[in-house]
Amino acid sequence: MRMRELRIAVEGGPVSGLLLSSPDARALLVFGHGAGVGMRHRFMEECALRLADRGVATLRYHFPYVERGSRRPDPQPLLLATVRAATAEAGRVAPDLPRFLGGKSMGGRMSSLALSQLPMPEVRGLVFFGFPLHRPGVPDASRAEHLDQVVPPMLFLQGDRDQLADLDLLRPLATDPRRTLHVIKGADHGFHMRKRSGRDDLSVLDELADVSSDWMLRQIEPNRKTATFTP
């Protein structure tokens, strides 16, 4: 594997980025982090390593507030500008790899909002690692309204214990043929498992990487046989 540190130009000052790839990479995921963590969070690191093993490179990046050492997310226009800047940087550093957008929680939602407001024809699909559909305990689907303006196909990876995504609200959204929902039984919003489930968090990370890499590669290789996954 090859790791490359990047500096990505964004309004107000550059942000850090990390490109992780392998010689057999066939696609690249521009991978945004969640609201309370950065691109070096264990979840981000472990997903990137597993995706690289499966032929998908990743470009992780910081939103400006994390780069500054703040815990308060930036105004939405700056978050969206950062997604677009990272996507453009991915095209510069890996021009031969088909690009996908997505991320953990907020990173995924900002990616879809960016695409809904300004289409990026080079983006082949969106991958949500826990779409934050609503605030904890306040079921509402308004955060997903912008998805109707998103053209590329979408993959939702959700735990059935996710307090930020009531599956009764999310499942109807996934009936759109452009959207695929993969539910991980027993996982919460961070994809953590209870001890009594008989599964550990590492096995869930493997499942996330298996499902997302297979989905991305099928977007660019339509004749690829769909993989079968056994938790």
Q: Are 202 and 192 in contact (CB under 8 A)?
A: no
Q: What percent of the chain has pLDDT over 90?
A: 91
Q: Is the confidence at residue 229, as pLDDT, over 80? A: no
pTM for this structure?
0.95
Q: Could you read off the pLDDT of 64-99 as tens digits, one per residue? A: 999 999 999 999 999 999 999 999 999 999 999 999
- Specify the pLDDT at position 228: 65
Per cent of the chain over pLDDT 70 is 98
What pLDDT is recorded for position 101? 98
Q: What is the distance between the alpha carbons of residues 98 and 95, in angstroms, rounded to a whole number?
A: 8
Q: How much is the pLDDT for 230?
A: 61
Task: Tell me, letter by letter, the H, E, C secondary structure of 159-204.
Answer: ECCCCCCCHHHHHHHCCCCCEEEEEECCECCCCCECHHHCCCHHHH
User: Quick one: which of 132, 115, 100, 114 has its CA closest to 36?
Assistant: 132
Mean pLDDT of all residues in the chain?
95
Residues 190-222: tens digit of each pLDDT: 999 998 888 999 999 999 999 999 999 999 988
User: What per-residue confidence (pLDDT) applies to 223?
Assistant: 79
Nearest residue to 17 (alpha-carbon basis) of 35, 25, 29, 1: 29
Confidence (pLDDT) at 117? 96
Contact in structure between 29 and 6 (CB atoms under 8 Å):
no
- Tell me what pLDDT residue 231 has: 62
CB atoms within 10 A of CB 35: 18
Predicted local distance difference test score (pLDDT) of residue 12:
84
Per-residue confidence band for 1, with pLDDT thresholds at 50, 70 and 90: confident
Q: Give the pLDDT of residue 2.
A: 94
Question: 137-196: per-residue pLDDT in tens?
Answer: 899 999 999 999 999 999 999 999 999 999 999 999 999 999 999 999 999 999 999 988
State which fold the 2-220 domain adopts.
Rossmann fold (3.40.50)
Residues 25, 57 contacting (CB under 8 angstroms): yes
What's the pLDDT score for residue 198? 85
- Asked if residue 112 has pLDDT above 90, the reply is yes
Distance between CA 112 and CA 102 in Å, rounded? 8
